[in-house]
Amino acid sequence: MEHAEAAARAGVVIRELREIGEFQQVYRLFDEIWHPEPANVPVTVELMAGFTHTGNYVAGAFAGEELVGASVGFLAAGGALHSHVTGAVIGKGVGYALKLHQRDWCRKRGLERITWTFDPLVRRNAHFNLVKLGARPEAYLPEFYGAMADAINEGDASDRLLAVWRVTGEPERKDLLDEAYPVVREAADGGPAVEDGGGHRVVLVGTPRDVERLRRQDAAAARAWRMAVREALGGAMAAGARVSGFTERGEYIVVIN
């Protein structure tokens, strides 16, 4: 199994969770990561118990006895697993190992794809999802979660991209950068600079270097990025454009149909 090698490199063991005490550990881990308000927790202990009982996905990554990552998902229409929430210590490869565990779990059950949502402004997540895993965004979802009360998202609109990761097969990897035109890029003041695509078939939609820091230091600039990316990326996708990749500079590669 691919996930076992990735887990070994990360120094963890990944397994499905079935006991209330394990779900409580997941709850505490997610609380440490997001610091949510009580009414805005990612998933409750009771819901995890119900998911496991009905054949859904709840898994944890353990470094010895310590839970350092977890993922919760549920079966969705069309032969898919929707990965509702995944959290892990950053920079140790735990999140990658968890995603490979998810993929192995789906393959055993004949599922075709894994879906999840992520904030299009968080550059490291976009790189992980599109470059490391090879998932592709298939929809832009404005204000998907409504108002969110946690230490990471509070004060910002909850726009999300729906990522789709095919359990079998590889995504298109055609190099389109030679003909790409930047329509959203970082200005000298750290905010977004927006230009018209001018009829170009391939455009680049940039992202802020660190939107979480920007929210704390310059909320107006963070909001400007949100609106610029919503209009450029969300508007293009709503009109039928597809995202074919993500550059090392933090730009979505968008192919206009």
Q: What is the CATH number of the domain that holds 58?
A: 3.40.630.30
| Residue 70: pLDDT band with limits 50, 70, 90 | very high
Residues 241 and 119 occupy one common structural domain: no
Residues 90 and 202 occupy one common structural domain: no
Residues 204 and 142 occupy one common structural domain: no
Are the C-beta atoms of 185 and 193 separated by less than 8 Å? yes
Residue 14 lies in a domain: yes
- For the chain, where are the E strands, in sequence order? 13-16, 57-63, 66-76, 80-88, 113-118, 136-141, 160-166, 180-186, 192-194, 202-206, 242-246, 251-255
Rounded to two decimals, the pTM is 0.92
Q: What is the mean pLDDT of residues 83-88?
A: 96
Strand pairing category for 180-186 and 202-206? parallel
Residue-level pLDDT at 174: 65
- pLDDT tens, residue by residue, 188-246: 988 999 999 888 999 999 999 999 999 889 999 999 999 999 999 999 999 999 999 99
Question: Among the three residues 166, 188, 209, which one is the final residue of a domain in this structure?
Answer: 166
- Note down the domain range covering 222: 177-255
Residues 17 and 81 occupy one common structural domain: yes
| Residue 26: pLDDT band with limits 50, 70, 90 | very high
Residues 93 and 201 occupy one common structural domain: no
Residues 223 and 162 occupy one common structural domain: no
Residue 172 lies in a domain: no
End-to-end CA distance of the chain: give it in Å, rounded: 38
- Under DSSP, the state recorded for 99 is H
Residues 80 and 201 occupy one common structural domain: no
Q: How many domains does the chain have?
A: 2
